[in-house]
Every structure is written in C-alpha cells, then in structure tokens.
Amino acid sequence: MTLIDILIGILAVAGVYGVFFLLYVLYAKLSRSFKKKSYHHMVQPEPDKDSNWKPINFSYYRTYIFIKDTDEEYIIRKIKRFLGQDGTDASFEELDNYIDSGLSVDEYIKVNKRDNNDVVDLNTLYEKISEDWDKIFAGENSLQIEVLSILKRESWHILEVKNSTFSDFISLVWWLDDESMKYKQPSAVIAFCQNQRIAMEDFICKIDNDTTNDDFIGSFRNNKNFGIHYPHVHLSKSGNISLSKVREIWFDAKLAKIPFDLVNEEKTPFEIFYKRFSLQAHSST
C-alpha cells in the first residue's frame, strides 16, 4: 500500500466521522428547536383555552425563592423596588441615589442642590422609609416577605414569600433574576412551592435562560414538566402552568442543588433586616 493510498484512507475515515459530527450537531439543534416549540415557548392563548393548562390553588402553597451568589444589598434593592411598583414612596429612589453616589450626606445635598427646606439629612429620609415599610408589612401591600439572610449555605439565600398571588410570586422570581447594570446578578434563582395538602403537587421552577427570559420551566414532584409563559402570568388567578411531555427538569435532582433544609430554619423578618441594612449604610457616612 502506497503513501497515497494511506492518505486517501485516512481522509475517507475522517470524512465519515465529519458527516456524523455534522448530523449530530444538526440533530441537537433541531431537537432543541422542536422541544422549545412543543409547549409554552409558543405564545399561549388564555389559560382556560390551553389544553395543557393545569390550574392550581396557590393559597395551598408555602412559597420560597432560593438565590445564589449575590449579597443582601442586591436582594434588598430589588425587593423594595418591586414593592415600590405598587405605589410606595419615592424616597426609596432617593435612598438608592444617595447610596449609589458614595458621597457623604453634606456632599450629596450640595451636589444635588438641596436646601434646608428639602431633604437635608438622611435621618428624615430613613424615618420616612421606615414609615413606608411599616405600612407594607402591616398589610397595606398584599405581598409579605421574610428573608433568611444570616443562615447561608453554599452561597445561597432564601426568601419566604407570604400572602402572594401566583402572578405576583412568579413576577418576583423574574424580577430577582433580571439583569442589572449596577449590581451583580445572581448565578441562579430557583422557586420552590410546597403544597400543604398534596405532596405530589409541590413544584420547582426557574427562568428558562435559553429563551428571551419570557418563559419559565419547571417540574412537579412527580416529574411532570411544565412551562409558564411570563407575559401571560396575570391572565388567571389559578396560574398559567402548561404541562409538557418534554423532560427538561428532574424534580429531585434540581431540589438537591438547593439548601432545602433552610425552609425549616427560623427566619429573620425582612423589614427588620432592611432597617438593619439602612442603619449600617447610615452609620458609614
């Protein structure tokens, strides 16, 4: 056998493997594409017209959000702004502007041309913010939040959300995982919802980062996968969970990645932690 024959043989084998490799890449892309079109990634009709719709009674659930690789400052800023969408006082934004500036109180007042008849010191600002938070957690806002910030496990924080609607809860998960220009985005935000009546109705979900962040993927404890089309999350009080035959999440495997035992630990009320953060920021000036 000549050298040319050997080279031809090598090229032929390489060509066969190359064809198989290209076919594999095409299959992976096509299968992913078809999978993404199999359910919630297509724009859904109203939930009660979706043949895969699984209505739930969200009042039966205890609800938690696990957040990885961020800090308390990020969580506080995101939550207070989320609650601020419901009409809380604009002093939240004022506090953000002050903290972001890195200036002393006097410098901040001077730069922003404040005078003695305006917001001239942060004591007044903190008092006002405390009043707003007292109103929020006295029930004037439907969403109540507790944060477990001291007990951290493997860089995780846990939020327990109470008295929330399905749409508000999913919106909060989306909001916490939303990219921010100023602050470090968490590496993972995972929601766990524990049904107090039927264990198999427990579910876990997260934003599907392979799409444009308009969709969630999740799984019930029995490994029935589902999707949530976020733009339609407000259409029904029974949610818009759409079941899927596509298996993208294994419930137990995903649950094993979060410090689930923290749900049974004593929690620090979020408003107390927020005020503690505020005092620390104030004392640093």
Give every CB contact of residue 76 below 8 A, 6+ residues apart in sequence: 273, 274, 277
pLDDT tens digits in sequence order for the chain, 285 residues long: 565 555 455 545 455 445 444 544 444 444 444 444 444 444 556 777 888 899 999 999 999 999 999 887 788 878 877 876 544 455 556 666 766 666 766 676 677 665 555 544 566 666 666 676 666 666 556 677 887 766 677 789 999 998 899 999 999 999 998 765 456 679 999 999 999 999 999 999 999 887 767 889 999 999 999 999 888 898 899 999 999 888 899 999 999 999 988 888 888 888 777 777 666 655 555
Q: What is the predicted pLDDT for the residue at 80?
A: 76
Whether residue 29 contacts residue 154, with contact meaning beta carbons closer than 8 Å, is answered with no
* Both structure tokens of 276: 């503690």
pLDDT for the residue 185: 78
Residues 6+ apart with CB under 8 A from 59: none
Q: Which two tokens stand for residue 120?
A: 């001239």
Residue 76 has what pLDDT?
80
Helices (H) and strands (E) in the chain, counts: 8, 9
Residue with tokens 């109203």: 46
pTM for the predicted model, two decimal places: 0.73
Instruction: Retrieve residue 218's tokens.
Output: 């999740």
Residues in the chain: 285
pLDDT for the residue numbered 32: 44
- What are residue 124's phi and psi, to 5 degrees? -60, -40
CB atoms within 10 A of CB 253: 11
Instruction: Quote the pLDDT of residue 26.
Output: 47
CB atoms near residue 104 (< 10 Å): 13
Q: For residue 65, what pLDDT is reported? A: 95
**Residue 263 confidence (pLDDT):** 87
